[in-house]
Chains A and B, each alone.
Chain A
């Protein structure tokens, strides 16, 4: 019933092979002071791989496709992050990778049963509320981080999974349309609409313009899924109307956007390669220098540029590993999303949730890769699972768990038909 495609042994072998190939490249082409550096890296990567697969085997799930993809991507990213500038070991990134796997499992357990989510939906609204308040109180109007001294947290990252989650709640309410003053109203939709507005304002206020399109994508997908909910035919007119209205809003917003936004939208990076265009110019030069096959792990120079391991990580990987490997990393993340198309979710709740998570992942990847390569404005967001950064890793882990939930859902046990059974007994 669930499609796993390949047997567990073969798929784990393929995942191991990916890591072994990358580690071989580190040994052959890498720049390291001592041979111990790549040996330690290899030991940790392969050791953790085997441990993960072992644990996974004991979890006894219906599907393990997504888990193994996730392990493959996460340890790939640990290898990448360990090699920027010189082969070493990115301890912090590795710890967050492990935590991301734990969060994935947590997200899976949380979202498995839609009745549970429905029952506690106000808790999730509450979590979003608390995160919003923490942004207002602690990050200030120009920041995105809360500094706790030993760790910095980016609350807006954690809003994303819950935002996707609440859009999947109370879908049945779509059918209970109440008329107020002749207008059909679905309360939940208005709450979500208000929440979207609030978050957009908040992002604007924080100058966190990178997250804004991500939230917009989740909201757009969420509303499309909600409007489509009743089994009634999808009203194309309505969809086109909403899309057109959205487009108009975006155009107006861009037209009346404040100066610093306009500057970002119309920046010609090559006219100012040492100022505003510094990061992007260096990122593009790095891709060109890396070519298809890269300079070799540790041989890059882009790591000296700010945000080399987060906002322009695609270029950092391209420089050291080559564009082909960078594309492979992107392809692996795409596979995580595609897994939702292979094992299609079996409830509308999980479908909506999967679409929301896919929207976050795709929006983030697009903003990061296309932004750093100067196809769209540079905003500074992370690539899921690849970029350095705890908040992003954990929140993406949680969302991967949501995706997994759609692929291995629990069927709620229907209430027992007491009456009928009682009757039978009497006959017996």
Chain B
């Protein structure tokens, strides 16, 4: 009989394996059912609210139900469920919006699934209008908590009205895509220099600007001030945004190319094609900065450190660096858009918490850079009145120098109003709206 029992054991073993499989199956279905439903034709999506309770996404909205252009300020950030835009808050979080539970199925009326976002609809509308007819983007967040408050990208789209005859770039939220940083890049170079040389050693250095600097390989680095800034130290050069100074700083024997490379990589740059990991903001993918650094004496490398050439940074990442400086911690506060999520029954199933990046640079460096930026900010008190600011402006040449983009990134040094921001105005002429004006609108509408 013993040998006969082997048959029973074998059958029991097979049944056991099958039951394990069934348990895995049931667990998998329980966990992923909302995801399946989000891919279903029959679904019911809840609202997305702004921080004050305004609806900023309504899957069943009809033309006329909301004021004209009501959704346009955040159109390409919030998106919709049509699948036209893939890198949006709705597209990446369909599951959370789903009025569904495995026990009760799809709830068509009175479901309470919703995303409560950190955005301020009112502030975004004001910023959107402030751009006038210019394109570009503006992003601002609370650098203590990480809540994104403003994230406008122009041109935009009103998803209710459909997708016909849209201007180029309407479907992308530019805050998350790489752009030429211009002189805002000098902040990264400044951070790297302090990290490597130390502030005292760096302060001892001074370089002269005559409007043009011929570098070690015989090529000219031109300054925006054709008469030159004369002999300056790092603080003055940073405030002047002096290109010849920074070219000479890069050439300086006090640091090597690999020092710069390492600091840039720690900041999150992909250097010379090294691994490029993206930043995820509640599922929305934000591109990471990239640049090429090949030879300290070479024009292109110097130009990259000044913010032209191959350097590319997303406005979102610029803003995140400001948080590491403003907090004097050297760690970025990770931005987020979703404050909390409720399920179909109205129960809060997910709440945001503040997270930080890895150490990008030392807290000591952060304090030094903050000091320098605050000093530079004093020049902006007239244009952006009412705030203690640390800022860095930039002008980036794009489309082979045919167009100039204007950039401004910075932070408010106020523990009760901790806002960091990055602003980009594309193809700006001198008579157009300025980045400072946009910054003023952002801060005034949030204050």
Contacts and interface: CB of A to CB of B under 8 A. Distances in A.
A308 interface: no
A221 B13 CA distance: 11
Nearest to A290: B105
Nearest to A330: B22
Interface in A210-255: 217, 221, 224-225, 228-229, 231, 234
A323 interface: yes
A399 B34 CA distance: 40
Contact of A338 (B15, B22, B104, B106): B15
Interface stretch (B2-10, B297-305, B332-340): B2-10
Interface stretch (B35-43, B117-125, B321-329, B385-393): B35-43
Contacts of B39: 270, 273, 281, 285
Contacts of A359: 14
Nearest to B36: A288
A366 B21 contact: yes
Contact of A225 (B7, B101, B106): B7
Given A291-B103, A323-B26, A362-B18, A231 B3 contact: yes
A250 to B, nearest CB: 15
B102 interface: yes
B6 A225 contact: yes
A288 B15 contact: no
B199 interface: no
Dominant secondary structure at the B interface: helix
A351 B7 contact: yes
B10 A288 contact: no
A70 interface: no
B312 to A, nearest CB: 28
Q: Which interface residue of B15, B36, B100, B106 has the most chain A CB atoms within 10 A?
A: B36
A287 interface: yes
Given A284-B36, A289-B40, A375-B28, A355 B7 contact: yes
B263 to A, nearest CB: 38
Contacts, number: 113
B281 interface: no
A345 interface: yes
| A-side interface size class | 35 or more
Contact of B11 (A284, A291, A354): A354
Contacts of A352: 7
A421 B49 CA distance: 98
A280 to B, nearest CB: 10
Contacts of B34: 288
B40 A285 contact: yes
A106 B105 CA distance: 45
B29 interface: yes
Contacts of A289: 37, 40, 42, 105-106
B40 A288 contact: yes
A337 B8 CA distance: 11
A20 interface: no
Contacts of A370: 21, 25
Contacts of B15: 334, 337-338, 358, 362
5 A-B pairs with least C-beta separation: A351-B7, A288-B36, A288-B33, A285-B40, A358-B11
29 contacts: A217-B14, A224-B10, A228-B3, A281-B39, A284-B29, A287-B33, A288-B34, A288-B102, A289-B42, A291-B101, A291-B102, A291-B103, A323-B26, A334-B18, A337-B15, A338-B15, A340-B8, A344-B4, A345-B7, A346-B4, A348-B3, A351-B4, A355-B7, A355-B10, A362-B15, A365-B18, A366-B17, A366-B18, A369-B21
Given A293-B103, A348-B4, 17 more contacts: A224-B10, A281-B39, A289-B37, A289-B106, A291-B105, A340-B8, A344-B4, A344-B5, A344-B8, A351-B8, A359-B14, A362-B17, A365-B18, A366-B17, A369-B22, A373-B28, A375-B28
